[in-house]
Structure 1
Amino acid sequence: MDRNSPITVIRAPQGFGKLDLVRSWLDTARSDFRAVLWIPAPTGAPDSEAFWTTVMDRIRTAGVIAGETNPDGDATSAAESVREFLARSGAPVLLVLVRVDLVRDDRIEEEILHLLDRCHNVNIVATTCGRSLFGDPIRVEPTHELILTRDLLYTREDARELFAHSEIELEPGELEYILERVGSLPALMRVAVVVAKTLPDLAGRRALLAHRLDNAIDRYVHSTVLARLSVDADRNFVIAVASARVITPDVATLLTGVDDAARRLESLESAGIVNHCETAFEDAWEFAPAIRDRLIAAQESVGIQPAQNLTKLARHSLERGDVAGGLAYAAEARDWDLAIDLIDTHWVGLVGSHLTVLRAVLRVVPEERLASRPAIKAGRDLFTALDTQSTIPESVLPDDPRDVETSGAAPAAEHALAVGCVQALMLRLAGEHERAAELTRRLSHLVRGALDARPDEIGPQLPGMRLQWGITYQLAGAFPESTVELRLAHRGALAQRIRVGARHAAGNSAMNWAVVGEPGRATEWLELEDAHPDPDGWLEPRAKVGGLVARTLVAVDRLDFTAAAAWLDELGEASGREELWPFVTYAHGRFALAAGQAHAGMAVLQRAIASHAAVLRPGSTIDLVLTALEVDLRLALGEGNRALSVLSTQTPDEPILAATAARARLLTGAPAAALALCRKFDWFSYPFTRTQLEALLVEAAAHRALGENAAATRAWQRAAAIADRAGLVSTLATVPRELLAALDAAAANPSSTARVLLASDAPEMYPAAVHHVDLTARERAVLAELAVGLSTVEMARKLFVSTNTIKSQLRSLYRKIGAHSRDEALEIAYRTGLID
């Protein structure tokens, strides 16, 4: 409010302290206003003329214009009179328009804005409850401030100051309890002050505080909320819809059976009883949490069973695909059978996307209800452990696979399996993919032993477990193990007719094959995925990610950039909650390289890494894959020095990074170094077909650069065999077309894949050569000092050499990077990565 904008609109329901905020601001702010005119809330729903007549009367009473004999002049309306009056005065005036939304006239908003346009000496603060006025901020931007409900809630510091000002000393934890209980609502905070002042200092103080606070909130709800309603029908409607946390017209109709729910909710909003949800995708309203609680407590008095309404809302949420919402309502209804069934069926998705809701519900489920649900009990026990320690406990399973398999026959095996599955999932969500994979390997041995002993108990759980194990192995880079588990998960889900599980497993299997560079096998699994309908509701995005990544990569491999772009558009960039974000990002990067859009690919990569930094472990397979992708994108952009700088932070001991490092050496003019890297691994035992092909292409190009044509032809023939078998057309674009044509012409059997690429207009992924500069240690030191702005004399002094030496090194530096001045040298250095 200190910005003194021409108009400040404070929009919130009753009880949020709108007028208190204005008064406290005027008391504390250094105001330059000559007059502050309070226009009280209108009564009787006046029209515009009556409202502005009241304003005019206040202006006259306040003596804003002394000695004016004919203030009205030629004005034809009260609104115009006010404008002319204030414009003639020129004196700074603040108009405080209380509940101006009670004026029932469509002209009022336009007249207020016209007043501001005409009278630059006038500022307005307007309070409203509904959105009938200034509901569209765009109309008056940028000349206004909008203060909403959330802006008026008490913070912890606000609350501490309030109690300190009232000279109330609270016991430890009481401030936090009060804030949670009253929902930080200003009116209820004042009620809490009155309650706290009368609390005796005794052992049962907390229970007494809770009792008195609930009674005080009850009195507030009946005297301030329900008392404002004119008829019993409205009261019953308000009490009934309070069951819902977020009230849409459909939900209100479900709970009350009325046909005009939307109109009633809008009326309640205008009366300041409910608040419109500003962030909802559809019209929706809500009560302050403390008021909702007491309205629910009043439901039995009007013949409503609260638990029945809450269970009805839980099932309604499930019908809309909102499992987390359904779980929260089921727990509030204490419908433990429904809550436990939801956790049992959807625990993986809840852990991945709604962990806060899951933990809250698990804390309140009665212990005796979990006796027959060891997996859920294990989850609760683990979450409880995580509340008291920062790391995930180590598994209690033995290290030796034979011992694990033997323990699977024991009666405690089912409990151990439940605990292990939860631990593995938690490790995975924390980014500890290798630890999760290692634990999963032991769990598979445990299952083997348990299946022999109790197949009927373990069998039904297997498809879901194997699906999660397959995803764990994917994220750990263990693609062969992942493929096995996903195939078994698909087969088991089909046998049990779990269609969403079968579709999910098929899509992720397709992604495995597409990532390693086997588009034909990926297509087979995509056809299996298509055999099942799209999953409904909240599961749809999660279950479709693997298949969409696979479809994108297959389309890129086949040079179908139109289809790839369409699949990428549906896939989107990975959200912060998406576990498969590395593969989503990889798909974007591969498309960007193949389509000649490296800048866009780099932007997606950088955003993904920044938003998932907490779960990206240095040296992990995912880290290596993304590092290789960054280097490839840098090379495509011609940033040789940046590419080599990125590689310098890693040791190319893994094939996927070694192939990229070999390409970087080749493109920056070191074919012998590229060959050495290519020969470092047994590529034919490596599961990444695409990486094998890329390494052979680099090898062929390096031999050709060294004049070793026969060796180049042999490397090309091996590469062509892989490309033709797998159908990896786009990968051939990693070498120049001219070189590809020459290699294929020299081969005994021309490549069909090469012929497809050469006939297409697909761009080359990389320049034939990428510029880079090798600077001496002294030149790098001089460049670093140049970047901080030191003069030649200052550099000489700092580096302990003569000025002539510095000048000589600067000339050498400029010549190497192609610069002619200090500014040009710095621009080139930053652009090419010589300076970070």
Structure 2
Amino acid sequence: MSDVTREPQRALNSAVDDEDWDRVTALIAEHWSALILNDAPTLLRALERLPAATLAAQPRYLAARTYLRHLSDGAGRVHRYRHSAFERPTALLDVLVEHTSRAAAERSAGHVAAAVAHVERARDALRNAPIEAAEAAQSALPHLHAQWARVREFAGQIEQAVTEYQDAYDLAVLLQDDLIRASAAASLAGIHALEGHSSAAAYWSRIAAPGSLGTTAAKYEVPARVAQALREHDRLDFDAAQRTLAAIDPATLGEHWAHVLHTKARITSAEDASALLTEIDVAAAAHPGPLSEAGLAGELVACARIDLLLRRGDLLRATAVLERAEEALARGSRVDGFDLWPAEPGHLTLARARVESASGQHRRALTTLTPLVEQAAASPRLLIETLMTAATACLHLEEPENAAGAMRHALRLAREYDLAASLSTVGRRDFIRLIETAALGDDDLIALVQQTARFPDAASAPQLTARERAVLRELATGATTAQIAERLFVSPNTVKTQLSSAYRKLGVASRKEAEAAVRRLGLS
């Protein structure tokens, strides 16, 4: 806990010790959300000491005291109910707090299906409760909805998570709970950015206003900062996206570590893929077992690894990562007959199709992608990238009309949702062929992507012959055709032939583009 975070704690403890109840209530009102989320024992101590008359005048404090008592043992240490037995609660708030505490404990252990099962039970209790009971629990609901939303998000239940975060936000506005309001808005910005709803992400980012609540709220603002980086990446501003991610304090990442790494993988150039793979391995080792294999974190980590491995042309390892991830996600999605996902995780399904295409199984890739097109309708990013992968498969299967149709559909969506970078998730050579097949050579957005995007071209490197690699390495030094010929003991015409073949394989049309490809593919 930072010194800034400790200041409200110190002031509140001092006021309680002095029995300055006006000061106590003022501090609680000012730092309500920060205390309840960061320092619940101090808040509970203050609420326990408040005079009866003050509690009677502030029903919110009475409900909060009841809520915090459920989360604290006799020694005043806030803990999670994961293995403890139920105390047969009967009041609505008792039931909600029991299930929410257990859900948070299961989530923090990576047991996402068990966590969602408790959220479902809490939701059922609230849905079936009398109106009077629900109203009595209202002051605790913003925090409860925020916890339920976090469980659903990290379990990969994105649509339900959005509903929970919006409920948390609405109630926080009503109850003037600034931290829950801002953190719910930040989480909504992160979800919408990941899904590709750029306008919604920008809207919620403006509401979250990262930095407006000081360093105490920094960890709750991480999703909004990741959303900003994604939106910059989507507009092909890679340098800005990298600066945004670099500005996030690693100490504030918490459960969003996988989101940050997944976003880095989208932004990272091919030559930096190995370094980022090492960073992912280190982070996964710090989050062992289900913490890095289950739920949304497991899917994001696996997709990041597969993407980076395919850029390096390491198809064998990419396949192994995919298979291990599918097994882990399936294993973690069921508990006591409760099935977390009615369908396969979309991003991982797309990763499977990419692996299949990279191994030359283009028909099989199309079969994998077919159900995903309908499933991805709610996620513009996933749908565009699915269409681009399908278009590439159709090219290799010599189905130009289908390839052109998928390419044009992807382009329309990319323009509508401001997701230019999603068009570059196929190799540059395939992208150029798709442009020609769909007759899109004069399109401004296509031109921007072709000139600016970072294509995942490393998988093309193994297709270059040893002589072509040698010629390209010499080219990257600035050597002329005659100098290359002299150094490699071949004729200038041989150099020109090899360069022409290499240019075609790399999907480049000029010396400048070829030199950039050499650097990107690590051939120099």
TM-score above 0.5, yes or no: yes
Match of 1:165?
Answer: none
Counterpart-to-counterpart distance in 2, 1:766 and 1:359? 55
Letter in 2 for 1:490: Y
Match of 1:435?
Answer: 114
**Shift in alpha-carbon separation, 1:762–1:383, aligned structure 2, 3 A:** farther
Cα root mean square deviation, aligned: 4.0
Contact map agreement 1:471 1:482 (CA 8 A) in 2: yes
**Cα offsets for 1:550-573 (capped at 9, x unmatched):** 001111111111221221121144
Counterpart-to-counterpart distance in 1, 2:75 and 2:237? 47
Contact map agreement 1:696 1:718 (CA 8 A) in 2: yes
Counterpart-to-counterpart distance in 1, 2:349 and 2:362? 14
**Shift in alpha-carbon separation, 1:639–1:533, aligned structure 2, 3 A:** closer
2:265 matches 1:589: yes
Match of 2:304?
Answer: 629
Contact map agreement 2:387 2:410 (CA 8 A) in 1: yes
Letter in 2 for 1:349: L
Counterpart-to-counterpart distance in 2, 1:360 and 1:498? 15
Match of 2:284?
Answer: 609
Specify which of 169, 175, 182 is matched with residue 503 of structure 1.
182
SS in 2 for 1:613: coil
Contact map agreement 1:493 1:502 (CA 8 A) in 2: yes
**Cα offsets for 1:689-721 (capped at 9, x unmatched):** 322222221111111112221221222233223
Q: Choose between structure 1 and 2: higher helix proportion.
A: 2
**Shift in alpha-carbon separation, 1:742–1:625, aligned structure 2, 3 A:** same
Letter in 1 for 2:148: W
2:314 matches 1:639: yes
Deviation at 1:681, TM superposition (A): 3.5
Specify which of 540, 560, 568 is matched with residue 237 of structure 2.
560
Residue correspondence of structure 1 range 189-338 to structure 2 within 5 A: 320-322=4-6, 326=10, 333=17
Match of 2:477?
Answer: none
Residue correspondence of structure 1 range 382-393 to structure 2 within 5 A: 391-393=82-84
% identical aligned pairs? 20
Deviation at 1:599, TM superposition (A): 2.8
**Shift in alpha-carbon separation, 1:384–1:420, aligned structure 2, 3 A:** farther
Match of 1:522?
Answer: 201
Specify which of 388, 394, 399 is matched with residue 708 of structure 1.
399
Match of 2:503?
Answer: none
Residue correspondence of structure 1 range 675-754 to structure 2 within 5 A: 675-685=366-376, 687-747=378-438, 753-754=445-446
Deviation at 1:521, TM superposition (A): 2.0
Counterpart-to-counterpart distance in 2, 1:469 and 1:336? 36
Letter in 2 for 1:491: D
2:440 matches 1:756: no
Letter in 1 for 2:223: G
**Cα offsets for 1:450-477 (capped at 9, x unmatched):** 4722454233333332223222221111
State the TM-score, normalizing by the size of structure 2. 0.70
SS in 2 for 1:571: coil
Counterpart-to-counterpart distance in 2, 1:619 and 1:543? 22
Match of 1:164?
Answer: none
Contact map agreement 1:734 1:766 (CA 8 A) in 2: no
* Structure with more contact order per residue of length (Cα contacts < 8 Å, sep ≥ 6): 2
Letter in 2 for 1:588: K
State the TM-score, normalizing by the size of structure 1. 0.46
Counterpart-to-counterpart distance in 1, 2:146 and 2:160? 12
SS in 1 for 2:5: coil
Letter in 2 for 1:691: L
**Shift in alpha-carbon separation, 1:486–1:654, aligned structure 2, 3 A:** closer
**Shift in alpha-carbon separation, 1:517–1:757, aligned structure 2, 3 A:** same
**Shift in alpha-carbon separation, 1:621–1:771, aligned structure 2, 3 A:** farther
Contact map agreement 1:668 1:769 (CA 8 A) in 2: no
Residue correspondence of structure 1 range 453-602 to structure 2 within 5 A: 453-454=132-133, 456-530=135-209, 534-539=212-217, 541-573=218-250, 578-592=254-268, 597-602=272-277
Paired residue total = 432
**Shift in alpha-carbon separation, 1:420–1:752, aligned structure 2, 3 A:** farther
Structure 1, unpaired ranges of 5+: 1-279, 282-316, 398-406, 773-836
Residue correspondence of structure 1 range 340-355 to structure 2 within 5 A: 345-346=33-34, 349-350=37-38
Deviation at 1:583, TM superposition (A): 1.4
Counterpart-to-counterpart distance in 2, 1:665 and 1:736? 15
Deviation at 1:346, TM superposition (A): 4.4
Deviation at 1:770, TM superposition (A): 6.5
Q: Which has the larger radius of gyration?
A: 1
Counterpart-to-counterpart distance in 2, 1:756 and 1:654? 31
Deviation at 1:543, TM superposition (A): 2.4
Deviation at 1:549, TM superposition (A): 0.8
Letter in 1 for 2:241: A
Counterpart-to-counterpart distance in 1, 2:226 and 2:320? 29
Counterpart-to-counterpart distance in 2, 1:437 and 1:395? 17
2:56 matches 1:380: no
Give the stretch that moved more between structures: 542-551 or 565-574.
Answer: 565-574
Letter in 2 for 1:376: L
Contact map agreement 1:514 1:550 (CA 8 A) in 2: yes
Contact map agreement 2:146 2:164 (CA 8 A) in 1: yes
Counterpart-to-counterpart distance in 1, 2:86 and 2:437? 58
Counterpart-to-counterpart distance in 1, 2:211 and 2:364? 51
SS in 1 for 2:457: coil
Counterpart-to-counterpart distance in 2, 1:732 and 1:391? 44
Contact map agreement 2:67 2:140 (CA 8 A) in 1: no
Counterpart-to-counterpart distance in 1, 2:367 and 2:138? 50
Give the stretch that moved more between structures: 543-552 or 639-648.
Answer: 639-648
Counterpart-to-counterpart distance in 1, 2:223 and 2:15? 33
Counterpart-to-counterpart distance in 2, 1:383 and 1:617? 32
Structure 2, unpaired ranges of 5+: 53-60, 328-343, 464-524
2:347 matches 1:667: no
Deviation at 1:523, TM superposition (A): 1.3
**Cα offsets for 1:533-552 (capped at 9, x unmatched):** 6112422x112211101001
**Shift in alpha-carbon separation, 1:331–1:583, aligned structure 2, 3 A:** farther
Counterpart-to-counterpart distance in 2, 1:706 and 1:382? 68
Letter in 2 for 1:591: I
Letter in 1 for 2:279: V
Counterpart-to-counterpart distance in 2, 1:323 and 1:562? 36
**Shift in alpha-carbon separation, 1:500–1:344, aligned structure 2, 3 A:** closer
Deviation at 1:685, TM superposition (A): 5.0
Contact map agreement 2:155 2:296 (CA 8 A) in 1: yes
Contact map agreement 1:432 1:617 (CA 8 A) in 2: no
**Shift in alpha-carbon separation, 1:487–1:728, aligned structure 2, 3 A:** same
SS in 1 for 2:460: coil
Deviation at 1:682, TM superposition (A): 4.7
Deviation at 1:502, TM superposition (A): 2.1
Contact map agreement 1:744 1:751 (CA 8 A) in 2: no
Contact map agreement 1:510 1:550 (CA 8 A) in 2: yes
